[in-house]
Amino acid sequence: MNFFIKRFVDFSYFLKASKNYQNTKRFFYSLLEEESYPYKKYFDYFMMLLILSSVMLLIRGVKYPLPEYAIIYNEYVISIIFMLEYSLRFWVYSSITKEVITQYEKDEFLNKKFRFHKVINHTVKQKWKYISSVFAIIDLLAIMPFFHELRILRLFILFRAFKIFRYTKSLQQFAQVLASKKFEFFTLMVFTSVMISVSAVLIYVAEANNDNSAIDTIFEAFYWSFVTLSTVGYGDFVPVTDLGRTVAMIIIVSGVAVLAFTTSIVVSAFTEQLDSIKEQKIVSDISKMKHFYLICGYSPIAEIVIKRLLRDKLPFVILEKDAGKALQVRKAKYPVVIADPSNQETYKMYGIDLKKQVISVLCLEDSDIQTIYTALTIRSIEPKMKMLSYLHEGKNRKKLRLAGIDTIIYPQELVGVISKEFTGKPVAFDAIQVLRSQSSNIVLDEILIDTRILEMKKTVLDLNIDMTKLILLGIYKKGEFHFNPEDESLLNEGDTLVVIGLEIVIEEYSLNLHKAIL
């Protein structure tokens, strides 16, 4: 290995180990390419503003002279910014460092001489793949006005308008939908080209030697054919011979057919891709959510839970593998993803971060077996995730516990408790009914103890709940519920107060706690 190549390999390892380099590259990649990156939308808005201002200056400059600062801004400042963006995209598209290290370690393992030419070939192919892409070509053309000495290059400012496709998700989706019908559009283009060419030649032969005809050149014949086939028909060229009029009738009918065919292709493309577009929209929305409850499975129980979450204005996402049920959920305009919650790939594909985004998982599927598979999958991804499950058969309780379910709800046990209360203690049962009734203003709610509250409130006595019309049922501390705590009980950050009272009173009390005025 010669000196230059050895230094190059050493430098590649240095860059790989450099946190500053890797973090910088990751930052620019996220800013330019990752839709879920929070600052990307601001970058996109900034770039769109530059594009629109550049085009507006071009329009203004057609009839009115532009001030010197506007010319500098349009031809230098914007071009330099676009040039930097192009260079950064070129840089982050692929990693030369990674290619060098991978090839070097592979050759070392095989006891071969380091094949530096393979790295060069693969890197050139990767970079060329970016350079030859449609967006990269548009980016390059948008830089051309920088070389304003060549006046014709100023016209490339128009290509800056096409850059807006890169920063507008809906326009990209529109282009992707149309691209799914490449073969149909190619067939339509071939048919249209043949019709225009044949009709242009025929109309030229029929009309060119007639003194009364306005069609005198082959270009005029092609122009007439194109305008007529598109069903626009400006009327600036009109055939005067019988053969010319016959050709006109044929091409008019063909134009209607082309228009109908084009419409059907576009409609079918959007019909086929509609679910995919909605799926992408949901994925994008999920990536923007900071915290939410994950509901696995849509069932009657899930519907009840969803209504409660909506009432409390709590965010949630539903995972349902049955397409029929998912369609029912979408009609109700709930955020749902058609995916199997027991599949690890689901969480990667849809960008669901169990550790950072999900508050807790609610397993409300129709089958205990499916719930077990889902729980095992989630536990393998995030061992500390809180999970609640609905138990269908009592014999499966132990299996759910072993799968990692923290809280299990078994309806038969609740029925037994309620029956006992109803038969032996009807007054207590009525009280429970009031608490669970949606029409009642009395609610059971939670108040989280945070750092701000702890600055003024150290014990239960300091909470001064006796001075309000609320009842402190207990405190949830470190995974345990302490019923009716003593006044001397110390409060800690993360504790949860469970209180009963009027909803409006609880809200006011919570607000006053944070203001520390009680």
- The secondary structure of 50-65 as a DSSP string is HHHHHHHHHHHHHHSP
d(CA 203, CA 216): 10
What is the average per-residue pLDDT within 142-166?
61
Question: What integer pLDDT is reported at residue 429 of this predicted model?
Answer: 53
d(CA 379, CA 403): 8
And the tokens for 153?
Answer: 């290059």
Question: What integer pLDDT is reported at residue 376 of this predicted model?
Answer: 92
Strand order, beta sheet including 480-483: 442-448, 496-502, 471-477, 480-483
The CATH code that applies to domain 289-409 is 3.40.50.720
DSSP, residue by residue, 82-111: HHHHHHHHHHHHS-HHHHHHHHHHHHHHTT
pLDDT > 90: percent of the chain = 3
d(CA 429, CA 263): 64
What number of CA atoms fall less than 13 Å from residue 422's CA on the CB side? Answer: 7
d(CA 144, CA 414): 73
d(CA 371, CA 297): 9
pLDDT at 274 over 80: no
Specify the 3-state DSSP secondary structure of 181. Answer: coil
What is the average per-residue pLDDT within 274-279?
71
The answer to whether the CB of 207 falls within 8 A of the CB of 221 is: yes
pLDDT at 383 over 60: yes
d(CA 202, CA 218): 10
- Residue written as token pair 């991978």: 102
Question: What integer pLDDT is reported at residue 147 of this predicted model?
Answer: 53
What contacts 246, CB < 8 A, 6 or more positions away?
none
Of the candidates 272, 296, 417, 312, the residue with the CA atom closest to the CA atom of residue 360 = 296
Q: What pTM value is reported for the model?
A: 0.54
What is the average per-residue pLDDT within 133-150?
70
pLDDT at 464 over 80: yes
Could you please state the CATH topology (level 3) that the domain comprising 441-515 is classified under: Alpha-Beta Plaits (3.30.70)
- Residue written as token pair 């536990």: 379
360-374: b or e for each residue (b if 16 or more CB lie within 10 Å)? ebbbbbbebebbbbb
Q: Where in the chain is the domain with CATH 3.30.70.1450?
A: 441-515
Q: Which of 172-176, 223-227, 326-330 has the lowest mean pLDDT?
A: 172-176
Nearest-5° Cα angle at 306, 302 to 310 = 175
Where residue 160 falls among pLDDT bands split at 50, 70, 90? Answer: low
Mean pLDDT (the chain, rounded): 81
The number of beta carbons lying within 10 Å of the beta carbon of residue 405 is 25
pLDDT at 503 over 70: yes
Where residue 329 falls among pLDDT bands split at 50, 70, 90? Answer: confident
pLDDT at 158 over 70: no
What contacts 505, CB < 8 A, 6 or more positions away?
468, 469, 470
pLDDT at 396 over 80: yes
What is the average per-residue pLDDT within 361-367?
88
Q: Where in the chain is the domain with CATH 1.10.287.70?
A: 182-274
Torsion angles phi and psi, residue 480, rounded to 5:
-125, 145
And the tokens for 222?
Answer: 């092609």
pLDDT at 171 over 70: no
What is the average per-residue pLDDT within 243-251?
88
d(CA 502, CA 518): 18
What contacts 21, CB < 8 A, 6 or more positions away?
15
The number of beta carbons lying within 10 Å of the beta carbon of residue 316 is 20
Q: Which of 119-133, 364-378, 430-444 has the lowest mean pLDDT?
A: 430-444
Of the candidates 394, 398, 378, the residue with the CA atom closest to the CA atom of residue 386 = 378
Of the candidates 511, 477, 473, 471, the residue with the CA atom closest to the CA atom of residue 492 = 477
The CATH code that applies to domain 182-274 is 1.10.287.70
pLDDT > 70: percent of the chain = 86
pLDDT at 517 over 50: no
Alpha-helical segments (H) within 426-481? 426-436, 451-454
Specify the 3-state DSSP secondary structure of 480. Answer: strand
Q: In degrees to the nearest 10, what's the CA dihedral of 186, 190, 191, 197?
A: 150
What contacts 202, CB < 8 A, 6 or more positions away?
243, 247
Of the candidates 237, 261, 259, the residue with the CA atom closest to the CA atom of residue 247 = 237
Torsion angles phi and psi, residue 361, rounded to 5:
-105, 130
Where residue 155 falls among pLDDT bands split at 50, 70, 90? Answer: low
The pairing of beta strand 292-296 with beta strand 358-363: parallel
Stretch (H or E) spanning 357: none
| Terminal-to-terminal C-alpha distance of the chain | 76
Q: Where in the chain is the domain with CATH 3.40.50.720?
A: 289-409
